[in-house]
Structure 1
Amino acid sequence: MRVVVDLNRCQAYAQCCYAAPERFVLQGDEILAYDPAPPAAERAAIDRAVQACPVRAIRVEHDETAERAA
């Protein structure tokens, strides 16, 4: 699983930080720090963060080959 955030689209609403606080952190007033390669066990939290983003700046790319091997 790979997390990609369009930082040009992100408006720092921080809804992802509430949905997945271990993976998304708002630094200062508007700088989003995030884990681009979270563990598969965090998938539910990451999916909540994707859904919570009001501007749809977050997407998840899944590596089908790696997920089948796991």
Structure 2
Amino acid sequence: MHCSPKDSVAVFKDVKAKRTLAMHWGTWVLSSEGVLAPVEELKADCAEAGVKDGKFMACGLGDMTFI
């Protein structure tokens, strides 16, 4: 599912997910925002919604993440 950082946090909470991994951010330049802006926004939205650290993660550019 593709959605904004704020919407993705809402979905995370609505479906009562245990963990979520954001990916494909920074793949294409589609706006004038900085490449890290979506991840920074996601972190802020998670904090605002009370999502604990490590429950909603974002892959780093070029990183592999093991679940």
- Flag whether TM exceeds 0.5 (same fold): no
TMscore range, shorter length? 0.3 to 0.5
Q: TM-score, normalised by structure 1?
A: 0.33
Q: TM-score, normalised by structure 2?
A: 0.34
**Structure with more of its chain in strand, by fraction:** 1
